[in-house]
Chains A and B, each alone.
Chain A
Amino acid sequence: MAEASSGPAIQVEGLTKSFGDVRALRGIDLSVPRGTVLGVLGPNGAGKTTAVRILTTLLRPDGGRAIVEGLDVVRNDAAVRRVIGLSGQSAAIQEELTGKENLELIGRLYHLSWPDARSRAAELLSQFDLVDAADRHAKTYSGGMQRRLDLAASLVGQPKVLFLDEPTTGLDPRSRLSMWDVIRSLAAGGTTILLTTQYLDEADELADTIVVFDHGKVIAQGTAEDLKGRIGGDVIEFAVPDRTRINDAVAAIKPIGDGEPHLDADTGIVGIGVGGRGSDALIEAVRSLDAAEVVTHGLALRRPSLDDVFLALTGHAAEEDGQPESKRGGRRKGKPADSDTAKARKDNA
C-alpha cells in the first residue's frame, strides 16, 4: 500500500465525507509534489477545513484514499502524525503559558528531552521573531504574534508536510504580510505545504499550484497565472447612484472590457473585467462614462477577488453555505470569528 517515497507528498483520490445530510466533500482528488506549496482556495463551507482535518487524521473519510508521505491517513494514522504539522484557524496555544513554555510543552509531547525541547523552543522563538516576548504570557500577545507562535508550535516536530488552515484569517494587513514572509521561508526550506485560504491574493503570493473548492468539489486547478487568465485579470468597478442610468453606464464601458459587464441591480454596482490593461482601461472608462454623462461613485480598479474567481469559474458568486464549518462555528460562538473574517475581508478589499 505504501507509495514509493519519491512519490508526491500528498496524494488524494476520490475523497468523500458527509455530516448527516451535508455532503462536505464529494470526491476530491489532489496531488502535491514534495517541496511545493498547494493553495486550497474557496469560501467558507467549501470543504477546505474538512479536507485538512482528514489529511491530519482528525476525521475519518467516508470514502476515497488519502496518502501523506506514503502513509495512509486512516490505516497508518499514528505514523502520519509523526510527519505532519497542523496550524488551524485559531491560535491553538495556551494563553496562560509563556511563548517559551508553550513551545517547550509541545517539544516534550514530541518526546524531546528537556534540554532538546528548550533548545528547539529557543530556535523557533528566534526564527519567528518572538524572542523579546518569550517570557510573556501568550495572552498578552497580539493576534499576529499568537498566530506566529501557533505556527511555530506546528513546526516543533520538524514536519515534512505542513497543513495551514486559513493562516491569516482575522489578521490585520501588517501581520498578514509578516505571516506570508514566514510561510515563504518555510517553503524555501523545502517543507511541503498545503494551505487553505479565502483570499486569491494569498494563494497567488504563496502557492505553486492552486485548487479551487466549491461545494466539496475541486472546480479548478492550476497555477495562479492559469487561474488569472481564466478570470481575465483586473476588474473595474463603480456604483451608479441614479439607477435609471445604469444601462447607459453599462453601454459606455462595454467596449473597454473583456466580455460582458456584470451588474448588481440591488446595489447599483457595475463591474467589468479588463484583463491586464488596468490603468489604461481605467482612463478609458473615466472618459467614456464622462462622455455619457453618467455620475458614478467609487470608480476604481481592483485586483480580482475570490468572488471574481467564482463568477468566472461557476457563473455564481462564492456562496457561504456555512456547512460543515458552521458546526464548528457554532462551537466557536463567543469568539469573534465571523467579525474577524469580515474585518480581514474588508482589509483585503
Chain B
Amino acid sequence: MTAIAAPAGLRETGPSPLTRTKWAVSDTLTITRRNLIVWYRVPAYIFFSVVQPVIFVLLFRYVFGGAIPVHGTTYVQYLLPGIIGQTAAFASFGTAIALAQELQKGVIDRLRSMPMARSAVLAGRLVADSVRMLVTILIIVAVGYAVGFRFTNGVAAAIAMIALATVFGLAICCIAAFTGLAIGDEESVQSFGLIWLFPLTFVSSAFVPIATMPGWLQAFANNQPVTFVIDAMRALALGHQPVAADMLKSIAWLIGIFVVFVPLSVRAYKRAV
C-alpha cells in the first residue's frame, strides 16, 4: 500500500448529513431491488405469496362459503376484504424468514460490516415486502372479480381499502422483522409465526361473522386489531356500513404497532449476533 492514510481526524467527520440521507435512500433502494429479484426467482416464494391466496379465495368461495351465512350481502363480497387482510398479514412470514436466513447465512454480518446505511437492510426489506404484498393484493382483487366480487363504494374507497390493507400488512411485517431477528432461526420463526398469526386472523371477522362464534371467543374476536382492520376494509369496499369507528381503532392499533416494533426491530438488527 503506497497511499498515505488521511489523518484520522479528517476521516472521522465522514460525509455530510445530506450525503448520508442520499446514501440511505440509495442503499434502501439497492436492498429493495435485491429482495424483489430474489422473490421472483424463487418459485416457492411466488407460490406462497401468489398461488396460496388464490387457492384460499377459491376454497372459501366455492367450498366453505356456501355453509357460511352472512347478513346483508353475499359471501363473496364478505370474503374478499377478509382474505386480503389475511394475505397482507401472512406476507410477514416472508419478512421473518428472509431476515432469519440472512442472519444465519452471515449476510447481515457482511452488510453490517460495510459502510452502508444501517437502516437500509430493514427499510429495504419492508419496502420490498410491501411491494410484494401489493402485487398479491391486486392479484386477489382480480381473482375476486372473476368469481363475482365487486367494489361497490367507488374507486377512492377501493384504493383506500388497498392502502389500509398494505399498511396493516406492513405493521405485521414490522412485528415479524423483530421476531425474525430476535429468534434468528428459520424454522422456529416459521412455527412462531403460525402460533400467533393463525388465531389472530382466523378468530376475527375475516371469514365468518363473529356472532356465530361462542361467547367467550367473541370477546376476543370483537376486540382485536385484525377485526377492526378487516371491518374497516369491508366498509370501504362495500359501503354497507359506516367506516369511521373501525377506521379510528385500526389507525390507533397500527400506530401502536409501529411505535413499539419499529424501534424493537432496529435494536434487534443492531444487536444481531
A binding-site residues for B, Cβ under 8 Å: 1-3, 5, 34-35, 53, 56-59, 69-71, 76, 78-79, 81-82, 84-86, 88-94, 96-97, 101, 105-106, 108-111, 137, 150, 153-154, 157, 160, 190-191, 327-328, 330-335
B4 A5 Cβ-Cβ under 8 A = yes
A332 B1 Cβ-Cβ under 8 A = no
Cβ contacts under 8 Å, A5 to chain B: 4-8
A331 B109 Cβ-Cβ under 8 A = no
User: B97-115: contact bitstring with A at CB < 8 Å (1 yes, 0 no)?
Assistant: 0000001111101111111
Given contacts A1-B8, A97-B37, A331-B104, 4 further A-B contacts (CB under 8 A): A53-B109, A76-B12, A101-B37, A111-B23
Cβ contacts under 8 Å, A334 to chain B: 104, 185-187
Smallest CB gap from B108: residue in A: A92
Partner of B104, one of A85, A106, A332: A332
Smallest CB gap from B1: residue in A: A190
Cβ contacts under 8 Å, B37 to chain A: 96-97, 101
B7 A327 Cβ-Cβ under 8 A = no
Classify the interface of chain B: helix, strand, loop or mixed.
helix
B binding-site residues for A, Cβ under 8 Å: 1-2, 4-9, 11-12, 14, 23, 26-27, 30-31, 34, 37-38, 41-42, 103-107, 109-116, 120, 184-187, 273
| 4 closest Cβ pairs, A-B complex | A2-B8, A92-B106, A92-B110, A5-B5
Q: How far is the CA of A5 from the CA of B4 in the complex (A)?
A: 8
B41 A137 Cβ-Cβ under 8 A = yes
B113 A58 Cβ-Cβ under 8 A = yes
- For this complex, 14 residue pairs linking A to B, each with C-beta atoms less than 8 Å apart, are A1-B8, A3-B8, A58-B113, A69-B5, A71-B12, A76-B11, A78-B14, A88-B109, A92-B109, A94-B34, A109-B120, A157-B115, A331-B104, A331-B184
Evaluate whether A160 and B115 lie within 8 angstroms (CB atoms) in the complex, with A88-B109, A90-B105, A111-B26 already known.
Answer: no
B104 A335 Cβ-Cβ under 8 A = yes
Cβ contacts under 8 Å, A106 to chain B: 114
Partner of B106, one of A57, A76, A81, A88: A88
Evaluate whether A110 and B12 lie within 8 angstroms (CB atoms) in the complex, with A88-B110, A153-B110 already known.
Answer: no
**Chain A CB within 10 Å, residue with most, of B37, B107, B115, B273:** B115
Q: How far is the CA of A3 from the CA of B7 in the complex (A)?
A: 9
Q: How far is the CA of A190 from the CA of B77 in the complex (A)?
A: 69
Cβ contacts under 8 Å, B11 to chain A: 71, 76, 79, 82
Smallest CB gap from B37: residue in A: A97
Cβ contacts under 8 Å, A330 to chain B: 185
Q: How far is the CA of A69 from the CA of B8 in the complex (A)?
A: 9
A331 B115 Cβ-Cβ under 8 A = no
Cβ contacts under 8 Å, A81 to chain B: 113-115
Cβ contacts under 8 Å, A153 to chain B: 110
B115 A110 Cβ-Cβ under 8 A = yes
B104 A94 Cβ-Cβ under 8 A = no
Cβ contacts under 8 Å, B12 to chain A: 2, 71, 76, 79
Evaluate whether A109 and B14 lie within 8 angstroms (CB atoms) in the complex, with A70-B5, A97-B38, A160-B1 already known.
Answer: no
A71 B114 Cβ-Cβ under 8 A = no
Q: How far is the CA of A79 from the CA of B5 in the complex (A)?
A: 12
A105 B34 Cβ-Cβ under 8 A = yes
Q: How far is the CA of A69 from the CA of B186 in the complex (A)?
A: 37
Cβ contacts under 8 Å, A191 to chain B: 1
B1 A56 Cβ-Cβ under 8 A = no
Q: How far is the CA of A111 from the CA of B22 in the complex (A)?
A: 10
Cβ contacts under 8 Å, B111 to chain A: 109
A57 B113 Cβ-Cβ under 8 A = yes
Q: How far is the CA of A35 from the CA of B1 in the complex (A)?
A: 7
Cβ contacts under 8 Å, B26 to chain A: 108, 111
A328 B273 Cβ-Cβ under 8 A = yes
Evaluate whether A96 and B107 lie within 8 angstroms (CB atoms) in the complex, with A78-B14, A190-B1 already known.
Answer: no
Cβ contacts under 8 Å, B7 to chain A: 2, 5
User: Measured between C-beta atoms, what is the minimum distance from B184 to chain A in Å?
Assistant: 5
**Chain A CB within 10 Å, residue with most, of B14, B30, B103, B120:** B30
B14 A96 Cβ-Cβ under 8 A = no
B5 A105 Cβ-Cβ under 8 A = no
Q: How far is the CA of A94 from the CA of B105 in the complex (A)?
A: 9
User: Measured between C-beta atoms, what is the minimum distance from B148 to chain A in Å?
Assistant: 37
Q: How far is the CA of A345 from the CA of B26 in the complex (A)?
A: 43
Q: How far is the CA of A263 from the CA of B116 in the complex (A)?
A: 54
Cβ contacts under 8 Å, B106 to chain A: 88-92
Q: How far is the CA of A71 from the CA of B14 in the complex (A)?
A: 13
